[in-house]
Amino acid sequence: MSTPVQQLFNLEGRTALVTGGSRGLGLQIAESLGEAGAKILLSSRKAADLEEAAAHLQDKGIDARWVAADASQPEDARRVVDDAMSRLGHIDILVNNAGATWGAPAEDHPLEAWDKVMNLNIRSLFVFSQLVGRASMIPRQSGRIINVASIAGLGGNPPEMQTIAYNTSKAAVINFTRTLAGEWGRHGITVNAIAPGFFPSKMTKGLLEKLGAEKMAAHAPLRRLGDDDDLKGVALLFASAAGKHITGQTLAVDGGVSALTGG
């Protein structure tokens, strides 16, 4: 017998840890999972932002709490996972969203900036996934890992977008997703990635001002940028029973940009 579709997308009784969850895309994903019934633990560096984000979710009736930490530091990641296990009991869903970018020509890109981007955008995904896998998902033989990649990881850039470290890190996220999915499928763990296109956010603000939001929107077949709802559906699909037979996949949510470039 098939399962009613409302039940497939129901996350009641589930728990979710969302890194980089205090604003932007991370908060949108947290909102989606919480509205479907999951308990949420947000993490990012700034306590004030987290407090505001948790209050926003709580105003929507979502069970949300937070812990401040630097996702690029393994010691902080361990503390976050320990805190999540203590406060939630287990971790059903891990959303690896914390990330950073750096704009500079490749010939002048500082090595320390390269390391900063790589440590946060890809090493932290490995660290958090390993910690959560060991602590909760592998012992329970169940779990959902959602990595936030980018369409920047699907190809190169036009000359005016000088983000070589960011693009490289997001390409690594995509293959990390495939590889971990292959290894952990036997544990009942799915691993998938979302590749957003251009969404207005603190990270993209400078680039959108430089290139023009209307110009960037015009590159997409749908002729618009992403909004506050556009990641909710795919996040819920990957996190819920509706997506239980999907793993190792990267879904672009970009208004069709990657369809034109072959990404």
The string of pLDDT tens digits covering residues 35-91 is 999 999 999 999 999 999 999 999 999 999 999 999 999 999 999 999 999 999 999
Beta carbons within 10 angstroms of residue 144's beta carbon: 28
Is residue 263 assigned to a domain? no
Q: Is 197 annotated as catalytic? A: no
Supply the pLDDT for residue 205: 59
User: 148-170 in b/e burial notation, b at 16+ Cβ within 10 A?
Assistant: bbbbbbbeeeeeeebbbbbbbbb
Is residue 204 assigned to a domain? yes
Is residue 49 assigned to a domain? yes
Supply the pLDDT for residue 157: 76
Tokens found for residue 60 = 């929507």
Look at residues 156, 50, 136 and name the one whose alpha carbon lies nearest to residue 40. 50
Please give the backbone phi and psi of residue 258, each rounded to the nearest 5 degrees, phi first. Answer: -70, -20
Is residue 259 assigned to a domain? no
Number of domains in the chain: 1
Supply the pLDDT for residue 261: 76
Question: What is the maximal distance between C-alpha atoms in the chain?
Answer: 60
Is residue 262 assigned to a domain? no
* Helix/strand number for the chain, H first, E second: 12, 7
Low-confidence stretches of the chain (pLDDT beneath 50): none
Supply the pLDDT for residue 16: 98
Q: How distant is the alpha carbon of residue 5 from its chain centre? A: 24
* Of 166, 184, 198, 199, catalytic: 166
Is residue 9 assigned to a domain? yes
CA–CA distance, 10 with 76 (Å, rounded to integer): 31
- Predicted structure pTM score: 0.94
Q: Which domain holds residue 187?
A: 5-254
Is residue 261 assigned to a domain? no
* Ramachandran assignment for 212, one of left (phi > 0), alpha (psi -120 to 50 degrees), beta (any other): left
Side chain identity, residue 106: A
Please give the backbone phi and psi of residue 2, each rounded to the nearest 5 degrees, phi first. Answer: -75, 160
* CATH code of the domain containing 222: 3.40.50.720
CA distances to 2, 58, 159, 179, 199 from 110, rounded to whole Å, are 55, 41, 18, 29, 26
Q: Which residues contact 132 (CB under 8 A, 6 or more apart)?
A: 17, 81, 84, 91, 94, 143, 145
